[in-house]
Amino acid sequence: MKFHKGAILLLSGPSGSGKSTLIQTILENESDVYFSISTTTRAKRAGEIDGKDYYFVTKEEFEKEIEAGMFLEWANVHGNYYGTSLRPVLDAIEAGKLVLFDVDVQGFMSIKKSSLASLLTSVFITTPTKEELRQRLIARGTDSQEIIEKRLQNAIEEMAYMREYDYILINSDLKRSQELILALVEVARLKKDKEEIEKFINSW
């Protein structure tokens, strides 16, 4: 007997820590990966594609899904709903794929308490220091000084959750971090559903 179900690799970390680059590294180097896309009620922005950037739904549709228990995690941010729909995640796991999440610490805590926790491998990605994070945010050239300060404050609050994660990746050297994130993909794939483990033991 073989194991058939997939697993979950969840990444969190401050804006500017390099999460997006490491996610791209995984998607370019690994097969059978499903990158979980959030569902939102906010309006679609120019250039965004439904089913690629987000799943765009109405407020009524979102609230119906909440009532049906079809979100792994959700939040109301500035009057718009954002959440992780359970259905495509379950489909990907059943298909044997590695489900890849990029979520904030609140989303992580929700998933950690969910029925999928036994399949979860979590990684917190950060910079060696707050000052280095500041310099990276400045170098990006996309945010005002006010927004940079807000991002740094958010980063301080997020760091308080680090001890809840399975692994900590301090992204000081990109090439080394890329090697480590690909190694963690293999580690994550070794996590198995408890029901499948029981079946394997019985058939072994």
Taking the C-alpha atoms of residue 71 and residue 69, their distance in angstroms, rounded to an integer, is 6
What is the residue-averaged pLDDT of the chain? 92
pLDDT in tens, 86-143: 989 999 999 999 999 998 898 899 899 988 999 999 999 999 999 999 999 999 888 8
DSSP assignment of 51-91 equals TTTBEE--HHHHHHHHHTT-EEEEEEETTEEEEEEHHHHHH
**Contact criterion met (CB below 8 Å) for 41 and 25:** no
CA distances from 203 to 186, 191, 195 (A): 25, 19, 12
pLDDT at 46: 84
Domain spanning 7-36+97-203: CATH 3.40.50.300: yes
Closest listed residue to residue 147, CA positions, set 12, 4, 15: 15
Closest listed residue to residue 137, CA positions, set 124, 147, 128: 147
pLDDT at 178: 98
Low-confidence residues in the chain, pLDDT < 50? none
pLDDT at 107: 87
**Contact criterion met (CB below 8 Å) for 101 and 7:** no
pLDDT at 134: 93
Taking the C-alpha atoms of residue 82 and residue 47, their distance in angstroms, rounded to an integer, is 19
pLDDT at 1: 62
Taking the C-alpha atoms of residue 172 and residue 18, their distance in angstroms, rounded to an integer, is 10
Copy the structure tokens of residue 202. Answer: 């019985």
